[in-house]
Amino acid sequence: MIADLDTLLTALHVELTDRIIPSLGTGRSGPGKPPEVTDAELVCLAGISDHSFPRTTGTPQAAVDRIFE
């Protein structure tokens, strides 16, 4: 399953970087240092986070309590 997820995320990153983001015509520019993480990387991280972290119910503190039990 992990290999399939790696392949999916690699394909998503390439598609975002090569086709989708450039077609939107929006680039990051302006003062300050350039971002350390690209938009494509953020999308991939969001996708993997849904599979990596267990879903919890209740308050955020309840989730933290369950993690450290």
pLDDT in tens, 29-65: 778 887 788 888 888 888 777 666 555 555 666 666 6
Whether residue 4 has pLDDT greater than 50: yes
Cβ of 41: how many Cβ atoms within 10 Å?
15
State the pTM of this model.
0.57
CA quadruple 32, 34, 39, 41: dihedral sign: negative
